[in-house]
Amino acid sequence: MMTMVDLNGLKAKALEEMESEGTLRVVVGMATCGQSAGARRVMETLKKDVAELGLDNVNVAVTGCVGMCTYEPILEVLETGKKKVTYIRMDPEKTARVVKEHLQGGKPVLDYTVGHDHAGNLKNLEDLQFYAKQERIVLRNCGTIDPENIHEYIARDGYAALRKALLEMTPETVIDEMKKSGLRGRGGAGFPTGLKWGFAAPNKADQKYIICNADEGDPGAFMDRSVLEGDPHAILEAMAIGGYAIGASKGYIYVRAEYPVAVERLKIAIGQAQQMGLLGRKIFGTDFSFDIEIRLGAGAFVCGEETALIASIEGKRGMSRNKPPFPAHKGLWGKPTVINNVETLANVAQIILKGADWFRSFGTEKSPGTKVFALGGKINNTGLVEVPMGITLREVIYDIGSGCPHGKAFKAVQTGGPSGGCITAADLDTPIDFDNLVAIGSMMGSGGMIVMDEDNCMVDIARFFLDFTVDESCGKCTPCREGTKRMLEILDRIVAGEGTMQDLENLEDLAENIRLTSLCALGQTAPNPVMSTMKHFRDEYLAHVQDKKCPAGVCKALLGYVITADCKGCTKCKRVCPVEAITGEVKQLHVIDQALCIRCGACFNVCSFNAIARN
Amino acid sequence: MPEDPEVNQNRFGTGVGNNTQRRLGNVNDQSKCACSCGCITAEDPRFAELKSYIDSLNQEQGITMPVLQEAQRSFGYLPLEVQKFISENTGVPLAEIYGVATFYSQFAIEPKGRHHIGVCMGTACYVKGSQKVLDKLVEELKVKVGCTTSDGKFTLEATRCLGCCGLAPCIMIDDDVFGKLDDVSRIPDILGKYE
């Protein structure tokens, strides 16, 4: 059984292993994104070469996502008393050179680092603009510790919050602390976590449950995956604290089956925690017992909705039901249940350990703390960023993300996934928090932030999201099942150039009805992408309907390519055309036969003289 | 209820469409083996394995999903005889098993290819051109989205966000992710790695 002394001793021992004098700690980011960028081969080379050269002072470890996707695979070398060295875009050859010159020879390989500052000092990831405005609470261990090694988590104060809660606090004071912290659910709706726990705690039942919602379905959001892959123990610890607070002895983690690495690391983490007595019976010698089981999703977006998620764990079709009764009263198998999102839980241990006031020192009055965003789409620095609430969208997109690539003009940023909306340049100075984003017609959602540039057609994007909701509707209530389908049909007509002005009116009518009458949040928010694009980009809708044109040049049915007088007759376009629709002799103006053209855009992409116009 | 798949195509051309309107398939045909991997007979050792898996769950509540997931992993899909077997051994009515198997997109009631290709249709991939990647795969494999190649090698599907948005546009073949496929001419080489 684990005691206080044990935890302190373990921490000291783990710290010594990680940071002892003369030891080089080499970590490779091995989250899903790192692995697919080639981190596994980097790791193999690293291990092999270190062993071959007999470098006993080198300690190689796997770690989670550092957050800077564009630079993957990332390898970092840490040495006590020295500045961390970051190597980016690694491959086996580069790794071999780093092992030889840096790990053995002691000289960092400058070619593969992120560069120097003006004084010639080597820069590492933390010196980059990308990290300057970030504040790491949720991601504090991601990219730092080995997620498969509980000792490294303990070295970073792991399980100290659970110990504090169990030995120094009552369930009531835990809930009070959570209420005071003002932490709001990071899954999308922003409901205060302390209140949720407070609802479930007084309900008497022979069994209560706490569920971690890791069914991260929003396309474009991957912070939950990153936390599970980079810091799984933080979630286990938080669930145990939550279990203590509400009186639950059993927890479930409902995780997407699309995340095999996360599932594997969770299994390892649960096994380690059980073995050390941090999960199981009589934790820290108290009367509190708690265990966790993993349940896999099977590819249904609606299971992110809490009542649908409960149905899914119960082994039924994932369909939502009416609330009340709320899960806090009647949840899993009719018992009081609390459901928290991964990112929400990742804050809990830190709040208990450092206090609500510390947490409130980040973010805004109504939305304290930080938020993790998955910055993606047409942006230079794709990645995972954790910023204090209240930062402006402009800072995130330009200062951290460094704007749109290839000098293209920013058009909109989409937040909140299929439930959210588009935000235009006019609102970029809005401070980000739960309430402000709703006020400008979008929502926080789970934190996907997809940037779009001038080449994205907003009608097409609206149709993309609606197609998603149509496919993912569980089919229980009519407005969502039938209504979204009718909206999609209208949008299909519009992008095909067959839309009418009446269609636009019908879209708005349908949207309003679906919003007001759907059973769960999936349906209620499904029209949002259409409503927000219609509000901000009405001219694009009108161009599709009235002029039969797609200004961004995306909707194929509305496109046409013509060759302008700038044509030098290089024949490049003629050779690339798959249907031989282009005719013309060398050094003569070429012509596209509109009847044959399939509008694939191949000629447009290859022309070196900008002589092909799209209309 | 089964609609003409051509009419019921969603925008990725998967022909699967709405979860609620997923084609029920011809249940009678499920008893015959349509694939080339050999018929699933009652003597198939995988049934015994599945039975011991069910027994290991110790009559816990809500075991339908884990059992179906295990069955899908072992058989590759969930033909009617497997669903019947699960029903008989768990006491869950067959109708309910069938309901669950057809609700979730990861369960298949028809056989799949040896390798599964999932083209990410998440937002980040979509705005960076995943439709072109999907089109290229359709062209290379000469197969419709949602279908299996005639040699039983690949099943091509449009999937939900794979969570690798930094690598957009990306695809997943079995458990491996291939990213930054802006240049679709890389695709034939990637496919060539699979037997």
Nearest to B160 among A33, A35, A219 (CB): A219
Q: What is the pLDDT of residue A2?
A: 54
Q: What is the pLDDT of residue A510?
A: 97
Give the pLDDT band (50/70/90) at residue B17. very low
Nearest to A301 among B106, B160, B167 (CB): B160
Indicate if the pLDDT at residue B2 is higher than 70. Answer: no
A4 Cα distance to chain centroid: 35
Give the pLDDT band (50/70/90) at residue A89. very high
B138 CB neighbours in chain A (<8 A) are none
Give the pLDDT band (50/70/90) at residue A4. low
Closest among A68, A200, A55 to A132, alpha carbons compared: A68
Nearest to B127 among A217, A456, A463 (CB): A456
Interface contacts A/B by beta carbons within 8 Å: 164
Give the pLDDT band (50/70/90) at residue A3. low
Q: Which tokens sit at A206?
A: 């022979």
| Mean pLDDT of the region A275-287 | 94
Range of lowest pLDDT (A477-481, B69-73, B119-123): B119-123
Give the pLDDT band (50/70/90) at residue B26. very low
How far away is chain B from the Cα of A191, in angstroms, using its nearest Cα? 25
Nearest to B177 among A32, A312, A376 (CB): A32
Q: Do B106 and A257 touch (CB under 8 A)?
A: yes
A586 exposure class (CB count in 10 Å sphere: 0-12, 13-18, 19+): exposed
Higher pLDDT, B1 or A606: A606
Closest among A65, A74, A71, A18 to A46, alpha carbons compared: A74
Is residue A331 within 8 angstroms of chain B, CB to CB? no
Q: Do B166 and A72 touch (CB under 8 A)?
A: yes
| Mean pLDDT of the region A399-416 | 93
Minimal-distance CA residue of chain A relative to B120: A219
Is residue A64 within 8 angstroms of chain B, CB to CB? no
Q: Cα(B64)–Cα(A311) distance, rounded to whole angstroms? A: 11
How far away is chain A from the Cα of B60, in angstroms, using its nearest Cα? 10
Q: Residue A15's CB: how many other CB atoms inside 10 A?
A: 15
Q: Residue A239's CB: how many other CB atoms inside 10 A?
A: 27
Which of B7, B123, B183 is best to mutate for the A interface (most A CBs within 10 A)?
B123
| Domain boundaries along the sequence of chain B | 26-103, 115-192
| Mean pLDDT of the region A398-409 | 93
How far away is chain B from the Cα of A499, in angstroms, using its nearest Cα? 17
Q: Do B18 and A317 touch (CB under 8 A)?
A: no
B10 CB neighbours in chain A (<8 A) are 467, 470-471
Q: Cα(A33)–Cα(A85) distance, rounded to whole angstroms? A: 21
Over chain A, what is the mean pLDDT? 93
| Mean pLDDT of the region A289-305 | 94
Q: Do B18 and A33 touch (CB under 8 A)?
A: no
Closest among A265, A188, A262, A190 to A221, alpha carbons compared: A188
Q: Do A315 and B178 touch (CB under 8 A)?
A: no
Range of lowest pLDDT (A67-76, A219-228, A593-602, B112-121): A593-602
| Mean pLDDT of the region A218-223 | 87
Minimal-distance CA residue of chain B relative to A475: B20
Q: Residues 124 to 143 of B: which have CB under 8 A from any A CB?
A: 124, 126-128
How far away is chain B from the Cα of A40, in angstroms, using its nearest Cα? 11
Is residue A448 within 8 angstroms of chain B, CB to CB? yes
B100 CB neighbours in chain A (<8 A) are 315-317
Over chain B, what is the mean pLDDT? 80
Q: Do B163 and A414 touch (CB under 8 A)?
A: no
Q: Does the pTM of the predicted model rise above 0.80?
A: yes
How far away is chain A from the Cα of B123, in angstroms, using its nearest Cα? 5
| Mean pLDDT of the region A404-415 | 94
Radius of gyration of chain B (CA): 18
Give the pLDDT band (50/70/90) at residue B24. very low
Predicted confidence (pLDDT) per residue in A309-344, tens digit? 999 999 999 999 999 999 999 999 999 999 999 999
Minimal-distance CA residue of chain A relative to B124: A377
Q: What is the pLDDT of residue A18?
A: 83
A218 CB neighbours in chain B (<8 A) are 161
Minimal-distance CA residue of chain A relative to B169: A377
| Mean pLDDT of the region A190-213 | 97
Q: What is the pLDDT of residue B7?
A: 38
Q: Are A336 and A205 in contact (CB under 8 A)?
A: yes
Indicate if the pLDDT at residue B6 is higher than 90. Answer: no
Q: Cα(A563)–Cα(B13) distance, rounded to whole angstroms? A: 32
| Mean pLDDT of the region A36-49 | 92
- Identify the structural domains of chain A with CATH numbers, from first to last: 15-128 (3.40.30.10), 158-360 (3.40.50.11540), 370-453 (3.10.20.600), 458-545 (1.20.1440.230), 560-614 (3.30.70.20)
Element (H, E) at A226: helix A223-230
Q: What is the pLDDT of residue A536?
A: 95
3-state secondary structure A327-341: CCCCCHHHCCEEEEE
| Mean pLDDT of the region A580-603 | 88
A474 CB neighbours in chain B (<8 A) are 19-20, 103
Predicted confidence (pLDDT) per residue in A44-56, tens digit? 999 999 999 999 9
Q: Do A258 and B127 touch (CB under 8 A)?
A: no
Q: What is the pLDDT of residue B39?
A: 59
Neighbour order of strands in the sheet with B115-120? B154-159, B115-120, B171-173, B176-178
Q: What is the pLDDT of residue B20?
A: 34
Q: Do A220 and B165 touch (CB under 8 A)?
A: yes
Q: Do A219 and B121 touch (CB under 8 A)?
A: yes
| Mean pLDDT of the region A519-542 | 95
Q: Do B170 and A316 touch (CB under 8 A)?
A: no
Give the pLDDT band (50/70/90) at residue A1. low
Indicate if the pLDDT at residue B30 is higher than 50. Answer: no
Range of lowest pLDDT (A113-117, B10-14, B49-53): B10-14
Is residue A135 within 8 angstroms of chain B, CB to CB? no
Q: Do B124 and A32 touch (CB under 8 A)?
A: no
The percent of residues above 70 in pLDDT, for chain A, comes to 99
Is residue A69 within 8 angstroms of chain B, CB to CB? yes
Please determine, looking at this structure, whether the domain spanning B115-192 carries the CATH number 3.30.420.40: no
Place of tokens 């596209």: A592
Q: Do B18 and A220 touch (CB under 8 A)?
A: no
B159 CB neighbours in chain A (<8 A) are 258
